Amino acid sequence: MKIVLSCCVALVFSVFVLLGLGSEPVQAGTTFVTIGTGGLTGVYYPTGGAIARIVNKKRKAYGIRCTVESTGGSVFNVNAVMTGDLDFGIVQSDRQYQAMTGVAEWANKGPQKDLRAVFSIHPESVTLVAAVDSGIDTFADLKGKRVNIGNPGSGQRQNAIDAFWANGMDYKKDLMAEGVKAAEAPGLLQDGRIDAFFYTVGHPSGAIKEATAGKRKVRFIAIPNVDKLTAQFPYYAGAAVPIRSYPGAVNKADVSTFGVKATLVTSSKVPEAVVYAIAKEVFENLESFKKLHPAFAALNKQDMLEGLSVPIHKGALKYYKEAGLK
Ligand code: GLU
């Protein structure tokens, strides 16, 4: 009997430890919410962590406990939010627009009518990193090279395809396109197994630091014909890769490219009170939130309500109205 009892105690204890609840008893009625992010060396993962940290400070008041999951990126996050596997996801603004209109990866599934916006976050630039010894000095030099365009499920994959389109190239014919996750690309580049990779990411990012700090020297490659992209696609804008974050790269000046914004999305099925709490806590603690990652440095409340294509979730809207922001 004693043995059975201590086994039970040990089991309950390990469940608590596994759930990360060891330090504090769980309130009856705690709502667990998960935010889908991206690779561990991207900016989405620490962004999810920053949101969770701010919201979890008030877990007694709201009864919400927020956790973060590393995922394959924007497209994966939209789909997992739509199936209910995730409550929230960080998603590129262009991917939000495509999911709303039922194009790109959603061409077969159609418009994702239950997708809702919460707020937008940091800017992301389409970042192209190439090994100096691969002989890639310009975008056109990607011809015939082994280039990681991103895993299916990532945001960057379509951005890379669009960049090739704007420059009269076909990624299926003109190069050897790889489809690995961004977190693996810096290692493959340093090992000489790829010549270049694309990553649509905020700066500074761990993955780009890793790629630029290795033995194999690398440079950022500018993406030409951004005008053609912005004329064709309403969600793209000109952007730059700030080289001050990456002293190991050989470039001497910021590199021109195009960009999007990271946004937080959810489903219309997620309860109003949960989305209200997340919007309110991030907005009311924005100065503390901004200190949690250098990519947040320029955030302000008005901008965080821009770049959203799908309707704002009613819980978030309730807060924005109360705060006089909408
Ligand atoms: N923009 C990337 C994507 O949507 C993720 C970037 C990041 O994790 O910071 O897949």
The more confidently predicted of residues 44 and 21 is 44
Residues 249 and 133 in one domain: yes
Residues 166 and 237 in one domain: yes
**313: CB partners within 8 A, 6+ apart:** 116, 117, 118, 266, 268, 270, 272, 275
Q: Looking at residue 298, what is its pLDDT? A: 96
For 210, the domain range is 125-259
Say yes or no to pLDDT of 1 above 80: no
> In ligand 1, which atom is closest to the CA atom of 74?
4
H or E, element range at 175: none
Report, as an integer, the average pLDDT of 185-204.
98
For the cut 90, the answer to whether the pLDDT of residue 99 exceeds it is: yes
- pLDDT tops 70 at residue 3: no
d(CA 109, ligand 1 centre) in Å: 22
Mind listing the pLDDT tens digit for each residue in 137-191? 999 999 999 999 999 999 999 999 999 999 999 999 999 999 999 999 999 999 9
* Residue 254 confidence (pLDDT) above 60: yes
pLDDT at 28: 59
Q: Which residues approach ligand 1 with their CB closer than 6 A?
A: 38-39, 42-44, 73-74, 92, 124, 154-156, 200-202
Share of the chain above pLDDT 70, in %: 91
| Domain match, 139 and 253 both | yes
**Same domain, yes or no: 142 and 69:** no
pLDDT at 4 exceeding the cut of 60: no
* Mutational pocket test of ligand 1: of 94, 201, 235, the residue with most ligand atoms within 8 Å of the beta carbon: 201
- Of residues 89 and 24, which shows the higher confidence score? 89
Ranges 17-31, 111-125, 207-221: which has the least confidence: 17-31
Q: How far apart are CA 303 and CA 263, in angstroms?
A: 11
Assess whether 153 and 244 both reside in one domain: yes
The secondary structure of 134-163 as a DSSP string is GT--SGGGGTTSEEE---TTSSHHHHHHHH
- Same domain for 241 and 215, yes or no, is yes
- Which atom belonging to ligand 1 lies closest to the Cα atom of 72? 10
Instruction: At 180, list the tokens.
Output: 């690995």
User: Which atom of ligand 1 lies nearest, measured to the CA of 205?
Assistant: 9
pLDDT at 118 over 60: yes
The DSSP annotation for 291-326 comes to: TT-GGGTT--TTGGGSS--SPBPHHHHHHHHHTT--
Least confident of 27-41, 276-290, 307-321: 27-41
Q: State the average pLDDT over residues 265-279.
A: 98
Q: Are residues 140 and 251 in the same domain?
A: yes
Q: Which of the listed residues 210, 242, 259 is the one where a domain comes to its end?
A: 259
pLDDT band for 324, please (50, 70, 90 cuts).
Answer: very high
Q: Are strands 146-148 and 176-178 parallel, antiparallel or unpaired?
A: parallel
Q: Which of 43, 44, 45 to mutate to test the pocket of ligand 1 (most atoms within 8 A of CB)?
A: 44
Looking at 204, 239, 259, which one is the last position of a domain?
A: 259
The number of the ligand 1 atom at minimal distance from the alpha carbon of 200 is 1
Please tell me the predicted confidence (pLDDT) of residue 7.
46
Helix, strand, coil: what percent of the chain each, to 5? Answer: 40, 20, 40
- The pLDDT, as a whole number, for residue 106 is 98
- The CATH number assigned to the domain holding 215 equals 3.40.190.10
Residue 9 contacts by C-beta under 8 Å, 6 or more apart in sequence? Answer: none
The CA angle 88-90-94, to the nearest 5 degrees, is 125
> Does 30 share its domain with 107?
yes
Looking at the fold, whether 41 and 159 belong to one and the same domain comes out as no
153 in the same domain as 46: no
The whole-angstrom separation of Cα 85 and Cα 77 is 9
One domain for residues 168 and 102 = no
The alpha carbon of 164 and the centre of ligand 1 are apart by a number of angstroms equal to 19
- pLDDT category, 74, cuts 50, 70, 90? very high
Question: What is the pLDDT, as a whole number, of residue 29?
Answer: 83
Paired tokens of 202: 């905020």
Reference 126, options 266, 225, 250; nearest CA is 225
In ligand 1, which atom is closest to the CA atom of 201? Answer: 6
Please, which pLDDT band fits residue 278 given cuts at 50, 70 and 90? Answer: very high
Both structure tokens of 210 = 């890793």
DSSP classification of residue 313: P
Q: What is the arithmetic mean of pLDDT over 32-59?
A: 98
How long, in residues, is the chain? 326
Do 196 and 147 contact (CB within 8 A), yes or no? yes
Burial class of residue 306 in the structure, from the number of CB atoms within 10 Å of its CB (0-12 exposed, 13-18 middle, 19+ buried): exposed
Domain count, the chain: 2
pTM (two decimals): 0.91
Q: Is the domain of 93 the same as that of 150?
A: no
Q: Across residues 15-23, what is the average pLDDT? A: 42
Domain boundary among 240, 259, 278: 259
Residue 273 has what pLDDT? 97
Assess contact for 164 and 128: CB atoms under 8 A: no
